[in-house]
Amino acid sequence: MTEETKPEEPKEQDSAATPDGDPTERQTKGLSTKQMSVELDELRSKLAEAQTATERFKDQLLRKAAEFENYRRRSEAEYAAVIRSANENMLLALLPVLDDFTRSLKAGKDQKEYDSFYRGVELIHSKLTRILEGEGLRAFESTGKPFDVEYHDALLQIPRADVPPHTVIEEVERGYMLHDRVLRHARVVVSIAPEESEANESGADEIDGKEPNG
């Protein structure tokens, strides 16, 4: 009679084993998680530093770009000023010639026997004026306008009751602008109120009538 095969008895479970595995393995996993957390914090810190540096460099770049744009504009303005200054001396030297043309035209306007000559001078004057205007020169009107030290030099004051005081009543020498500024002031005669003129004359007489001190 054969001996019956006994069913194999289940092996006893190791008391040290747990569902979480070996204790050494759990410790290793714990250290790895902690290390990952530290590394993540370091990465976050480095990222924040990189972002701060990026913003700083961006700000510096914008400042440099603004400085360069200001420098470019200043250079262009200075170059334009040099060109205007170079033209200014030439144009200022030509103004007396233009004045002579203007006086000649005014004097010869009624001389009919020289009409053809007058027309020739008028044509030359017109061409010269256009050339100078192309360089930025232009005359400005003064007669009938209030006296302004920015534009006028007063040569004489004349009492006038028919116009407001301090009005330009005669233009002795025409004034000119070069672009946006005065190249030559107009030399003018200015009106003054009659009573103001009398007061000035009275004051002058009183000064002249005083005996010197001592």
Closest C-alpha to 160, from 199, 202, 194, 201: 194
Closest C-alpha to 135, from 183, 175, 78: 183
Q: What is the pLDDT of residue 15?
A: 47
Write out the CATH class of domain 137-207: mainly beta
β-bridge mates for residue 167, sequence order: 146
Tokens at 44, concatenated: 């976050």
β-bridge mates for residue 176, sequence order: 139, 184
Q: What is the pLDDT of residue 147?
A: 96
How confident is residue 36, by pLDDT bands cut at 50, 70 and 90? confident
Selected residue with higher pLDDT from 89 and 4: 89
Distance CA 47, CA 51 (A): 6
Angle between helices 23-108 and 115-134 (to 10 degrees): 170
Please give the average per-residue pLDDT across 148-171, as a whole number: 95
End-to-end CA distance of the chain: 174
* pLDDT for 206 beyond 90: no
Q: Are 118 and 111 in contact (CB under 8 A)?
A: yes
Please give the average per-residue pLDDT across 77-105, as a whole number: 83
Q: What is the pLDDT of residue 33?
A: 80
Closest C-alpha to 153, from 190, 178, 181, 183: 190
How confident is residue 207, by pLDDT bands cut at 50, 70 and 90? very low
Q: What is the pLDDT of residue 22?
A: 57
Please give the average per-residue pLDDT across 143-148, as a whole number: 95
Q: What is the pLDDT of residue 201?
A: 61
- Average pLDDT of the chain is 80
Residue 164 in 3-state DSSP?
coil
* pLDDT for 205 beyond 90: no
Q: What is the pLDDT of residue 214?
A: 41
pTM: 0.55
* pLDDT for 25 beyond 70: no
